[in-house]
Structure 1
Amino acid sequence: MGRRFSRIKEGQKLADAWTAYVNYWNTASTRPSRIGQGTPRQLDAMCFIQPFTISVNVGEVVSAKAYNDSYTTLATYINASSVAEVSNNIGASTMINIPKFRPARVRWQRAVNRAISTPTSKFTQQEYLKYENVDSFSCPFGATADTDDMIDSFLDVKARVLAVTGFEVSRVSLTREQVGIEAA
Structure 2
Amino acid sequence: MARRYSDIKRGAKLQQAFTNLQAYEAAAATRPSKIGTRGARGLNKTVYIAPFTTHIDADEIVQARVKPEAFTIISPAILGGTTKADIAETLGAKSLVTFPSFRASRIVFFQNASRIATVARSERTNMEYLKYTGNTYSCPFGATVDADDEMEAFLDIKAALLTTFANSEVKRVSLSREFVGVGR
State the partner residue of 2:99.
98
Q: 1:72 to 1:165 in 2, by over 3 A?
A: closer
Secondary structure in structure 1 of the residue aligned to 2:140: strand
Conserved 8 A contact 2:99-2:181? no
Is 1:12 the counterpart of 2:12? The answer is yes
1:126 corresponds to which letter in structure 2? Answer: M
| Structure 1 segment 61-80 matched on structure 2, within 5 A | 61-76=61-76, 77-80=78-81
State the partner residue of 2:55.
55
Aligned length: 182
1:70 is displaced (CA, Å) by 0.8
Q: 1:103 to 1:164 in 2, by over 3 A?
A: same
Q: % of aligned pairs identical?
A: 37
In 1, Cα distance between the equivalents of 2:50 and 2:144? 7
Conserved 8 A contact 2:143-2:149? yes
In 2, Cα distance between the equivalents of 1:31 and 1:153? 47
1:166 is displaced (CA, Å) by 4.1
Q: 1:182 to 1:22 in 2, by over 3 A?
A: farther
State the partner residue of 1:116.
117
Q: For structure 1, which runs of at least 5 residues remain unmatched after alignment? A: none
Secondary structure in structure 1 of the residue aligned to 2:20: helix
User: In terms of mean alpha carbon deviation, does 163-172 or 26-35 score higher?
Assistant: 163-172
1:82 corresponds to which letter in structure 2? Answer: T
Conserved 8 A contact 1:105-1:177? yes
Q: For structure 2, which runs of at least 5 residues remain unmatched after alignment? A: none
1:169 is displaced (CA, Å) by 3.8
TM-score, normalised to structure 2's length? 0.92
1:167 is displaced (CA, Å) by 4.7
Conserved 8 A contact 1:113-1:167? no
1:13 corresponds to which letter in structure 2? Answer: K
1:88 corresponds to which letter in structure 2? Answer: E
Secondary structure in structure 2 of the residue aligned to 1:6: helix
State the partner residue of 2:128.
127
Secondary structure in structure 1 of the residue aligned to 2:25: helix
1:128 is displaced (CA, Å) by 1.1
Is 1:143 the counterpart of 2:143? The answer is yes
Q: Which whole-Å deviations, capped at 9, do the CAs of 1:131-172 have from their partners, x for residues lacking one?
A: 12x122211111111111111100100011111234544121
Secondary structure in structure 1 of the residue aligned to 2:120: coil
Structure 1 stretches of at least 4 aligned residues deviating more than 3 Å after TM superposition: 165-169
1:49 is displaced (CA, Å) by 0.5
1:15 is displaced (CA, Å) by 2.7
User: In terms of mean alpha carbon deviation, does 134-143 or 165-174 score higher?
Assistant: 165-174
RMSD: 1.5
1:16 is displaced (CA, Å) by 2.5
